[in-house]
Amino acid sequence: MPPSQAAAPPQAKAKVKPSARARPEPAAQPEAPEKPKPRPKPIRPKQFVWAYPEEPPPDGSATVPLRCAPAVDASGRIYLHVLGKLLALEEEGGRAKVCWEYVTGSHAPGAIGAAPDGTIRVHCRDGLLHCVSFEGKQVYMPADVGEPLGYAAPIADADGNTWISSFDGGLIKVDADGRRQKPGPYVRSRQKFNAAGIIHQGVLYIGSDNGCLFAVELAEQRGTNRWNHAAGQGVTGWYIHSSPAITEEGLLVVAACDERLYGFAPNGKLVWKTEVPGQMLGSPVIDQPGQIYVGVSQSKRGQQPRGLLLCLDGNSHKIRWQYEAAGPVESTPVIGNDNTVYFGDNAGMVHAVDRGGQAQWTAKVEAPVRSAGTILAPRRVAFGLDNETLVVLKCASDALAAGGWPKIGGSLGQCGLKASG
């Protein structure tokens, strides 16, 4: 065979490196489920009865401080607004039983009130005023009244009207059918009424940011202030964020941010004023003999913040005694029918003190106690905590004190109407 026709040697096959081959995509690994956030261990003192919710919320959860006492109706049912819901609670077997819930979907910074007409008012951060029956039914469509002020609360009168502190100043009126009075506010004022008011004998008393207590006549088509501030009637030295209290003689007692407690006659005349050793961030209460109790917070440079419960004599209006708490006191006290005074402090302590300023007991809870107190039922005192929990403790009192002004709002209903509750 000629050389040109000789068979060619076989070609060697090229080797393909494994790295050059296409690799299949690895299968997606399922994400590990997020571990639930741990719940802090609840602190349950020997006086503890129940809490709602039953356990403290997880660390880092979106809770807001519960600064207001729950409302209680004549049957003893408890109304509480937490976590965007209005709840009706009853104690059953040493625990809280939820009778019904009404979803608002928003936070309510101010107190809720149980009115004599069998309805509850809630003013939420989204600007809506809710009116709900004691059976949990919506009475009318939520009324748009604007954003609430931090210290204010809805005030209901005996005819079913609701009075709202406007975010822009003045007062708004919503009638018993949920209709907002127009045009404009019921009371025109550039001053904000950033306080909880009360109604007594057809007059609404409420503090303002210009340091004046207003006395608004409610029987007229448009509200008018019956006190002449230019003449010094109802005038204090600084902002008023506290709710007024009324003595048996009809004097109005109010705490101002100038570290003074004031007493005004029904005509607005200043009867007395007393300097106190610190800021009063709660409201005063009054026992039947006329003694006045108020919490004080002190914060001096270079020192740890501290707090006191003060007792002022009903005649001289001088400080009779002071009781040192474990931390600043922003809580509004509540007085029982056995003359025991209950209040909380920012160190997470609840105190029971007698009329002489002697401690009866203290109870440690798991969060600061800055809310107003109330007596829910015989031998049950309740406070809100900064972790949005209501805690209920055993106490010696069977009810609120019968006379004076034993709690914020004056009654268990705390709707701002003196005759209610």
- Going from the C-alpha of 29 to that of each of 22, 25, 26, 33, 36, the distances in angstroms are 21, 12, 9, 12, 21
pLDDT exceeds cutoff 60 at 300: yes
> What is the rounded average pLDDT of the residues 151-162?
93
- pLDDT tens-digit profile of 264-286? 999 999 999 999 999 999 999 99
Q: Give phi and psi for 96, each to the nearest 5.
A: -90, 125
Among 382, 285, 282, residue whose Cα is nearest residue 339: 285
How many Cβ atoms from other residues are within 10 Å of residue 163's Cβ? 26
What is the predicted pLDDT for the residue at 1?
44
> CA–CA separation, 262 vs 264, rounded Å?
7
For the cut 60, the answer to whether the pLDDT of residue 339 exceeds it is yes
What beta strand segments (E) does 93-190 contain? 95-103, 113-114, 119-123, 128-133, 138-144, 155-156, 162-165, 171-174
**For position 30, what pLDDT does the model report?**
67
According to DSSP, the β-strands at 380-384 and 162-165 are: unpaired
Per-residue confidence (pLDDT) for residue 222, from 0 to 100:
86
Q: What is the separation, in whole angstroms, between the first and last Cα of the chain?
A: 126
User: What pLDDT band is residue 33 in, cutting at 50, 70 and 90?
Assistant: low
Tell me, what's the pLDDT at 373? 97
Cα separation, 119 vs 135, whole angstroms = 9
The order of strands in the sheet holding 334-335 is 334-335, 341-344, 349-353, 359-364
Distance CA 235, CA 396 (A): 39
Predicted local distance difference test score (pLDDT) of residue 8:
45
Domain 67-394 has CATH 2.130.10.10: yes
C-alpha torsion sign, points 412, 415, 416, 421: negative
For the chain, give the mean pLDDT: 90
Higher pLDDT: 14 or 195? It is: 195
Structure tokens at 4: 């040109």
Confidence label for 37 from pLDDT (cuts 50, 70 and 90): low
pLDDT digits (tens, 9 = 90+) for 340-379: 999 999 999 999 999 999 999 999 999 999 999 999 999 9
What percent of the chain lies above the pLDDT cut of 70? 90
User: Can you tell me the mean pLDDT for 63-83?
Assistant: 94
Mean pLDDT of 32-46: 77
Question: Comparing C-alpha atoms, which of 357, 362, 370, 355 is closest to residue 393?
Answer: 362
Per-residue pLDDT tens over the stretch 235-249: 999 999 999 999 999
Does the pLDDT of residue 150 top 60, yes or no? yes
pLDDT of residue 421: 38
Exposure on the CB side of residue 406, measured as CA atoms within 13 A: 23
Which band of pLDDT confidence, cut at 50, 70 and 90, is reported for residue 25?
A: low
Res. 102: pLDDT tops 90: yes
Separation of alpha carbons 296 and 331, rounded Å: 9
In angstroms, rounded to a whole number, what is the distance separating the alpha carbons of residues 200 and 398? 26
Among the residue ranges 5-14, 210-219, 227-236, 318-327, the one predicted with the least confidence is 5-14
| pLDDT given at position 39 | 73
Share of the chain above pLDDT 90, in %: 79
Q: What is the pTM of this model?
A: 0.89
Strand order in the sheet with 306-312: 285-286, 292-298, 306-312, 319-324
| Domain extents in the chain | 67-394
Between strands 306-312 and 319-324, the pairing is: antiparallel
In this predicted structure, the answer to whether residue 5 has a pLDDT above a threshold of 80 is no
The sign of the dihedral angle between the CA atoms of 233, 237, 238, 244 is negative
pLDDT band at 23 (very low <50, low <70, confident <90, very high): low
The token duo for 306 is 């501290």
C-alpha to C-alpha distance for 372 and 355, rounded to whole angstroms: 19
- Please report how many Cα atoms fall inside a 13 Å half-sphere around the Cα of residue 268, on the Cβ side: 22
Task: For residues 53-73, give the mean pLDDT.
Answer: 88
State whether residue 276 is helix, strand or coil. coil
Q: What is the pLDDT of residue 35?
A: 66
How confident is the model at residue 352, as a pLDDT?
98
Residue 155 β-bridge partners:
163
Higher-confidence position of 24 and 199: 199
* Nearest by Cα to 368 from 29, 35, 64: 64
